[in-house]
Structure 1
Amino acid sequence: MNGLVTIVAALALSAGLAHAAEPIIGNWKTEVGTTAAIAPCGDGYCITLKTGKHAGERIGTFNGKDGRYSGKITDPDAKKTYDGVMSVSGNTVTMKGCVMKVFCQSQVWTRL
């Protein structure tokens, strides 16, 4: 029985490390100075604001791996949701949200 517990614990730890290896996971400073947390959720990643007037609001869901992600991002002030892509390079994440893949706006966030 003790061996089974050890195996289960090792599998759980390795599963957690697989998610931890994704460079998108963590806390990020947005261009307006608030903190956004990107964490695993479902089969992808969710963005939740941690500070500012929209603290606690989920503003994005993305799928992907190895520093390249796509999904949906919501402007919390306008309450509009856009198709988006994100890429991670070192301690920055570049996010681009688009309407009809023509009208796009980008932001760069830095890792906290």
Structure 2
Amino acid sequence: MKKTILAAVIGIAWAGASLAADPAIGVWKTQPDDGAYAYVEMVPCGAAICGTIQRTFRDEGEYMSENLGKKLVIDMVPDGNGDYAGKVWRPSNNKIYNGKMSVSGNNLKLSGCVAGGLICSKQSWQRVQ
């Protein structure tokens, strides 16, 4: 019994450490969409990665969007090679899409698709921190 508990604790700690080292973790600047962009904080959410809108900007500067604190990237599950699959919420039309994400250094590519992936919208994000 003690060995089983110890193995479970070690497994949980290992999973937590691997998520902490996940390249998607951090704050990312979105590409402008309908004249606005945001800073999205990516954090572990269970075995996946989720991204919440932390700050919002327009040409005139930072503003208090009604979308602050809302989840934009939903349950992106990593495949271990820098690619992820999950859901993406688009604030401008309030729709959730099947999403894919890939991280390469300080660049993150995000896509949301409908019709089984036949129609997709893509963005490139830059790491802020």
**TM-score normalised over the length of structure 1:** 0.82
Mapping of 1:1-112 within 5 angstroms?
16-32=16-32, 33-52=37-56, 53=65, 54-61=67-74, 62-64=76-78, 65-100=80-115, 101-112=117-128
State the Cα distance separating 1:20 from its structure 2 match: 2.1
Kindly provide the amino acid, as one letter, of the partner of residue 98 in structure 2.
Answer: D
Kindly provide the amino acid, as one letter, of the partner of residue 94 in structure 1.
Answer: K
Does the 8 Å CA contact 2:19/2:47 hold for their aligned counterparts? Answer: no
Post-superposition Cα deviations, 1:26-74, rounded to whole Å, max 9, x if no partner, equal 1000012310011000221111000121110012221013310001001
| Secondary structure, counterpart of 1:66 in structure 2 | coil
Does the 8 Å CA contact 2:20/2:44 hold for their aligned counterparts? Answer: no
CA distance in 1, matches of 2:25, 2:126: 12
Give unmatched runs, 5+ long, in structure 2: 1-9, 57-64
CA distance in 1, matches of 2:100, 2:69: 22
Could you list the structure 1 runs, at least 4 aligned residues long, displaced by more than 3 angstroms after superposition.
11-17
CA distance in 1, matches of 2:47, 2:13: 18
CA distance in 1, matches of 2:110, 2:73: 11
Give unmatched runs, 5+ long, in structure 1: 1-10
Structural RMSD (CA): 1.8
The count of residues paired between Structure 1 and Structure 2 equals: 103
Does the 8 Å CA contact 1:23/1:66 hold for their aligned counterparts? Answer: no
Does the 8 Å CA contact 1:22/1:66 hold for their aligned counterparts? Answer: no
